[in-house]
Structure 1
Amino acid sequence: MTENAVVHVNGEDITQMIDMEAQQDDSNHPRRLHKMAKTPVTLKFKDVVYKVRYVAQKNAMLRKTHSSSVRERVILNKVSGVVKPGEMLAMLGPSGSGKTTLLTALGGRLAGILQGTINYNAKPFSNKMKRNTGFVTQDDVLHPHLTVTETLVYTALLRLPNTFSKEQKIGVAEEVIVQMGLNRCKNNIIGGPLLRGVSGGERKRVSIGQEMLIDPSLLFLDEPTSGLDSTTAQRIVSTLWDLAQDGRTVVMTIHQPSSRLFYMFHKVLLLSDGNALYYGKGSHVIEYFESVGFVPNALMNPADFLLDLANGVSPDESEDQVTVKEKLMMAYKNNIANKVTVELEEEEIEVEESNEHTNIGEWPTTWWQQFLILLKRSLKERKHESFDFLKIAQILIVAFLVGLLWWQSTISHLQDQIGLLYFSTGFWGFYPLFEAIFAFPPERMVVAKERSSGMYRLSSYFVARMVSDLPMELILPIVYVIMTYFMGGLKRNAASFFYYLFTLLLSISVSQGLGLALGAVVMDLKAATTLGSVLMLTFLLAGGFYVQNIPSFIRWIKYISIMNYNFKLLLGSQYKTGEVYPCDGGKVCFIEDFPAVKSVGLTGQLVSAIVLVVMFVVYRLIAYFALMRIGGTPKIKTT
């Protein structure tokens, strides 16, 4: 019996024949191969301490002076615990209790200095462990215009190592779709705030599915039920429970689970202000707190009871918050701390580790593979932007109006022709700049998540992102040039036309590079747009058309103005030294003496081109190094 599984990737139908009878043969089945590589992981963390420094401002009102002092805030205070294969640990606590910080630290993603020890099968966090660890963030950071299948297939192609063939990787993605119950929506787009797509629960299952592609032994989840209704939350946690039963170690934070969910947790860790108040079986919670003097007044959700206690609210409300928390911390120290220490000191069962990734490198795939996959994904995700009707209509309308306004202008109307050149300089300075500013900020969270899981190199993402912009970066300007050049009556020879075209394309690339740099450095669309407007207006004013006699103390601006060099090259495409034009009284004058030309000059064409090429490189290097701030696995120091 044979089943056809069709996966659509960037318009290409990748058809995979899955022999259902061959599933009994581990050597032929991609998922079975994947399961063989799974190594159970015991997670131990002992006396984990995390502090942050901050500047405390003091306002001396009477003296009207300000002073500040550097203080430390303890986020985690000697938190310990053990999670074994087959167990699901839920970390509970009010907002600000430190549960997300602890989860991030255990997942190897917390930057800074940690005190204490965190071990995975008695070993520190490593590249190998990162490949064997899944981390699901609270927010579902996904590409909105990709379908469920495309999302998982692209992730599989990037995250699974080259020991898997392309067909096997696609097979793994197909099996995860079935495993996570996503069959009904696999051809639906993910969607977003302004784009209808799959439901919130389905989106969360896609996020979990992305991590399940690597068949992790250790799975971390931050608030997996946040924003979901109780039924959907129940399905998500049931899925996680099943994953734990398969021998995985599951650790999650959860804010306020229902009682049905609560009793599914094998272990519970209750945090308050960075301190542990309870660690143990979920089924023993009520019994423990009754033994230390905190008895609920009525039947209630154990999670609600724990959150009340973590907030310092006793059942009878007879004591203040500080007193309640101090009693709970003392009770933990006297009744639970020693048991945790004993559990931490237990010898671990020797686990035979898979030798599949013995000589594991930093990346699962090559640079070229990453580039090609990211390029296909970017083209697929952004085709709605590239071929947006309004964007195309905008360029066509502007080009048509420009052609009409400068209809067949001749050298006898030199000022008009030069005005056309400078308008093109300005328009194709602003337009690509603002398009590029929006390139990186919207994708910041996606890049941070994917890079922290070690999916790809930053350089492969950066180059793929640049190349994916080329179609509309080149096509629309070429259409604009063809329309305006001949309608505007510019020189009708091939050399002048291509000189004009390539100059404009180079200038567009430079402006786009500046936009990329601004977007990557600032990462705030409003601030980056404002800064870009100020810069481009400054460059426009100093470009040599509006002001020909710039004061010496501010003349330096024109040497960094993109417009100045672009304008010079466009003038060089149409006019040469020694050419004349009709001027006052029937006389002829040299073009190089015309005021708007004289201030810029017709010489130095090669230098201007070289400067633009240097700007092209420098702006993109700035953008690249700015992007290095986001994503990647932080280097954690332990003491």
Structure 2
Amino acid sequence: MDENDESSRDYLDTGSGIGLDTEHLSLLGFRTILWNCVTVEPEEDEYEQEAVSALNVFNVSYVITERIGAWWSGCCFRGKRSKTVLDDVSFKFPIGELTGILGSSGSGKTSLLDVISCRTEGEVRGHVFYKKYACTKHFMKQFGSYVLQADRLLPNLTVRETLRYSAQLRLPGSATSGEIDKKVAKVINEMGLRTVADTRIGGSMKRGLSGGEKRRVTIAIQLLQEPRILLLDEPTSGLDSYTARSLVSNLADLAHQGKAVILTIHQPRFDIYKLFDNVGILSMGQVVYYGKSNEMVSYFTGIGDPCPQYANPLDYYVDEASVDRRNAESEQKTSGRVKHLISQYRESKLHKDMVGDIEESLIRYLDARTQPEFKRRKPSYIYILKCLVSRLMVNLSRERTGYLSRIFMMVAFVPFICIFLGRLKDNQQSVQDRIGLMYQGSQVPYFMGILLPVALFPPLRDLYYRECRDGLYSTGAFILAYTIHVFPFQVISSLIFSSIVYWATGMNPYLDRFGIYTAVVVIIHFCGEIVTVGIMGMFRSPHVANSISTMILACSGLFASGMLRSLGSMLDILKWISWATLQKYCSEILVVNEFHNLNFTCPNPGKINPCLFTTGDVYLDTFYPGAVDHMERNFGACVGFAVGYVVLTTLVFKLKGIPNLH
């Protein structure tokens, strides 16, 4: 069963209390219609346009499983419990109208949007369908858009560039440059971004757009594919009152153009309340009220709860539908009040009429024709990869600190290495100096590979989470694009580092030896960054990723390089582990590259100054036996580690999945 079938199955549970008995549904063939009508044609006939014009949520319950207690309590053996975040809710969201969903924190507002968009992490029962089509993951990726509360944008791109790159990823691969520019110009005008179209987004270090303008850009991105369903989670969060009203006014205009626009909002001002066509209030996962905004006050007045004069109705009734958990007495009192309001709504004519309309909608289309499959033609993999790499390069090139750090940060270690070691000699004491230099040559590039992504990767990761959730590209495409974009900088940085260190310290003076040294530095630098990126795919915190990567570096250098302690004197278990580390193979290449065919002088041999190593090969035979014959094997292993780390990082991101971005 494919992904579409699974998401359809979630919504087609017969135990959802749909209002029509199972036998009736079976006879009418409702199950068959919803299973088959996952995709639609771009055009609908007049009959279909006139018959149903709503997004329906019918008898939906959403249950999640959560761990009991703190993470350290019982570790993996903590108990689990089920929590109902939505309990048998029904809504009919008309197309062409703006709907606001309100409620206190934890009332189920965001969970409702997650259910509609098929981004749930628990068990869903009930039915969600747009016109006659089941709202599956496949359907929502084609015809729905979800604007999350946080703006995840690259700070160094302009508004126009941000939208253009997003359009290249979202629009069909056949779209021309002119068509893309036309689409971008359209959404810029729709969201009132003309005056800032060529302004950079900005971030914490450098100011750019205001909070309201960033939110408009986020919405504009979702409008590029002209969604029929637009969901927004707290779009006015963090905005001043004027900006919030202006934004909601824009959303109302979009809704009136023929879209189903649904947003969650926390106690809006009265002038924003007047922009809503419909209002829903949730509490404890259930509906307290849903209907026309201009009928809300009269409804509550009719059940004995009038709104005080001069009070904002939304403020008042959201407070009425909230549970005060400061103490047991107030919680019991307010919970009783909320349950009474929920019961009153479920028994109201308003609710029963809406449920009747939804049931009628279900039956109306049972004999309608099944639409043939229609899919948006995505751009090719190469086109997507090129777009991602181009965007990453433009963003980095405008970040002076990040750009220069990628090239010159590793070079900053060169003076310390040269001052500490000086010019290498060919006496017995230089053996230890050379080993120290080899150790620095293997540790510094890896360490630089850790520091840079910890600082630069998190914004790229957050953007990936949003765009991958939207189905724009795969995890593999993202990791490969990131690899392609960082690799040239790693080569340049490693080449500068190697050129100075190698020739300034007087290492083996042959160009082929220099080339081998540089190649190893590039591989180590690359692997250090990819390993850190993989760890950041497992742990959201950059500090945790930094600590774990550094620990891996320290441990592998300690027991796998043979430079701090000879491998022959290690415990057997450490010897076995060393075979699974990059440091073992890189270290052998470096010492062979430096010591092979090298002669050492013994000016005054004796008991005080023993001549232990007359040649570099004697040192190799003592501490790295057979290493000279293993150069090809070791190079193959290093390249294998580099490729393997890319694959492993991709798998980590894939298996870890996309976290809850709320």
Determine if the TM-score, normalized by the shorter chain, exceeds 0.5: yes
1:325 paired with 2:338, answer: yes
Aligned to 1:23: none
Aligned to 1:115: 125
State how far apart, in whole Å, the 1-side matches of 2:180 and 2:265 are.
32
250-259 or 615-624, larger mean C-alpha shift? 615-624
Aligned to 2:623: 598
State how far apart, in whole Å, the 2-side matches of 1:379 and 1:474 are.
15
Change in CA separation of 1:596 and 1:178 when aligned onto 2, cut-off 3 Å: farther
Query: Structure 1: which 5+ residue stretches go unaligned?
Result: 1-35, 59-63, 635-639
Change in CA separation of 1:132 and 1:521 when aligned onto 2, cut-off 3 Å: same
Aligned to 2:552: 535
What's the CA shift string for 1:444-503, capped at 9, x where partnerless?
Answer: 332121112121222222211110001211101101111111111122222211121112
Change in CA separation of 1:69 and 1:457 when aligned onto 2, cut-off 3 Å: closer
SS in 1 for 2:614: strand
1:365 shift after superposition: 1.1
Aligned to 1:340: 354
2:479 and 2:646 in contact (8 A); partners too: no
The aligned runs of 1:346-365 (5 Å cut-off) are: 346-347=360-361, 359-360=374-375, 364-365=378-379
1:551 paired with 2:562, answer: no
Change in CA separation of 1:499 and 1:386 when aligned onto 2, cut-off 3 Å: farther
1:85 shift after superposition: 1.5
1:374 paired with 2:388, answer: yes
1:592 and 1:601 in contact (8 A); partners too: no
State how far apart, in whole Å, the 1-side matches of 2:498 and 2:331 are.
79
589-598 or 406-415, larger mean C-alpha shift? 589-598
1:142 paired with 2:146, answer: no
Change in CA separation of 1:69 and 1:430 when aligned onto 2, cut-off 3 Å: closer
TM-score in terms of structure 1 length: 0.85
1:449 and 1:631 in contact (8 A); partners too: no
Q: Which of 66, 71, 75 is residue 54 of structure 1 equivalent to?
A: 66
State how far apart, in whole Å, the 2-side matches of 1:616 and 1:399 are.
25
Aligned to 1:29: none
1:224 and 1:254 in contact (8 A); partners too: yes
Q: Which of 569, 576, 582 is residue 562 of structure 1 equivalent to?
A: 582
Aligned to 1:286: 297
2:588 and 2:634 in contact (8 A); partners too: yes
1:48 shift after superposition: 0.6
Aligned to 1:399: 414
What's the CA shift string for 1:205-234, capped at 9, x where partnerless?
Answer: 101110111111111111111111111111
1:104 paired with 2:130, answer: no
Q: Which of 583, 594, 601 is residue 602 of structure 2 equivalent to?
A: 583
Equivalent residues, number? 585
Change in CA separation of 1:532 and 1:584 when aligned onto 2, cut-off 3 Å: farther
Aligned to 1:618: 644
State how far apart, in whole Å, the 2-side matches of 1:391 and 1:330 are.
62
2:396 and 2:403 in contact (8 A); partners too: no
2:64 and 2:123 in contact (8 A); partners too: no
State how far apart, in whole Å, the 2-side matches of 1:70 and 1:110 are.
18
The AA in structure 1 aligned to 2:144 is T
State how far apart, in whole Å, the 2-side matches of 1:452 and 1:551 are.
47
1:371 shift after superposition: 0.2
Q: Which of 480, 491, 495 is residue 512 of structure 2 equivalent to?
A: 495
State how far apart, in whole Å, the 2-side matches of 1:309 and 1:482 are.
72
1:410 paired with 2:428, answer: no
State how far apart, in whole Å, the 2-side matches of 1:45 and 1:69 are.
32
What is the root-mean-square deviation in Å for CA atoms of aligned residues?
Answer: 3.0
Aligned to 1:21: none
1:177 and 1:186 in contact (8 A); partners too: yes
State how far apart, in whole Å, the 2-side matches of 1:632 and 1:517 are.
14
The AA in structure 1 aligned to 2:96 is G
1:189 and 1:198 in contact (8 A); partners too: yes
Change in CA separation of 1:175 and 1:612 when aligned onto 2, cut-off 3 Å: same
State how far apart, in whole Å, the 1-side matches of 2:339 and 2:655 are.
40
State how far apart, in whole Å, the 2-side matches of 1:466 and 1:318 are.
54
The structure that is strand-richer by fraction is 1
State how far apart, in whole Å, the 2-side matches of 1:324 and 1:382 are.
55
Change in CA separation of 1:584 and 1:538 when aligned onto 2, cut-off 3 Å: farther
State how far apart, in whole Å, the 2-side matches of 1:67 and 1:369 are.
46
Aligned to 2:237: 226
Aligned to 1:191: 202
1:435 and 1:515 in contact (8 A); partners too: no
Change in CA separation of 1:295 and 1:537 when aligned onto 2, cut-off 3 Å: same
2:450 and 2:550 in contact (8 A); partners too: no
1:189 shift after superposition: 1.2
What's the CA shift string for 1:329-364, capped at 9, x where partnerless?
Answer: 1111210331221121344899xx9x9995416x62
State how far apart, in whole Å, the 2-side matches of 1:357 and 1:106 are.
23
Change in CA separation of 1:38 and 1:175 when aligned onto 2, cut-off 3 Å: farther
Aligned to 1:609: 635
1:248 shift after superposition: 1.0
1:400 and 1:483 in contact (8 A); partners too: no
What's the CA shift string for 1:581-633, capped at 9, x where partnerless?
Answer: 22363567232333896257633222222222222122222210111146679
2:93 and 2:99 in contact (8 A); partners too: yes
SS in 2 for 1:279: strand
SS in 1 for 2:570: coil
1:406 and 1:487 in contact (8 A); partners too: no
1:453 and 1:633 in contact (8 A); partners too: no
1:84 paired with 2:98, answer: no
1:156 shift after superposition: 0.6
What's the CA shift string for 1:79-105, capped at 9, x where partnerless?
Answer: 101112111111110000001000111
The structure that is helix-richer by fraction is 2
What's the CA shift string for 1:426-448, capped at 9, x where partnerless?
Answer: 11121113324556544333212
TM-score in terms of structure 2 length: 0.82
Change in CA separation of 1:633 and 1:134 when aligned onto 2, cut-off 3 Å: farther
Change in CA separation of 1:469 and 1:240 when aligned onto 2, cut-off 3 Å: same
1:208 paired with 2:219, answer: yes
The aligned runs of 1:258-269 (5 Å cut-off) are: 258-269=269-280
1:185 shift after superposition: 0.9
Aligned to 1:71: 81
State how far apart, in whole Å, the 1-side matches of 2:91 and 2:580 are.
58
2:149 and 2:234 in contact (8 A); partners too: yes
State how far apart, in whole Å, the 2-side matches of 1:454 and 1:476 are.
35
The AA in structure 1 aligned to 2:651 is F
State how far apart, in whole Å, the 2-side matches of 1:67 and 1:175 are.
54
1:377 shift after superposition: 0.3
1:289 shift after superposition: 0.6
1:307 paired with 2:329, answer: no
2:236 and 2:244 in contact (8 A); partners too: yes
The AA in structure 1 aligned to 2:647 is L
Change in CA separation of 1:569 and 1:115 when aligned onto 2, cut-off 3 Å: same
Aligned to 2:183: 172
Query: Structure 2: which 5+ residue stretches go unaligned?
Result: 1-40, 325-329, 606-610
158-167 or 263-272, larger mean C-alpha shift? 158-167
Identity of aligned residues (%): 25
State how far apart, in whole Å, the 2-side matches of 1:157 and 1:387 are.
26
1:141 and 1:449 in contact (8 A); partners too: yes
1:564 and 1:600 in contact (8 A); partners too: no
